[in-house]
Amino acid sequence: MDSTTREIFTSVGTATLSTLLFKRSLRNTFIQGIGAATCN
């Protein structure tokens, strides 16, 4: 994955990505290997 795509994905939540995939008829999707973008 290039750095531009990675930066876009770090600015949105996993729920947002799941919803967008669902709207594009990708019903059974799993987001694996996620972690915190920043450490609080």
* Per-residue model confidence as pLDDT tens for the chain (40 residues): 788 888 888 888 878 888 888 888 888 776 677 666 666 6
* Contact indicator for 9, 17 with CB cutoff of 8 Å: yes
Give residue 38's pLDDT.
Answer: 65
What's the confidence (pLDDT) of residue 15?
83
What pLDDT was estimated at residue 39? Answer: 60
- Say what the pLDDT of residue 26 is: 81
Q: Are the C-beta atoms of 34 and 17 separated by less than 8 Å? A: no
Spatial separation of the C-alpha atoms in residues 37 and 35, rounded to whole Å: 6
Which pTM does this prediction carry?
0.50
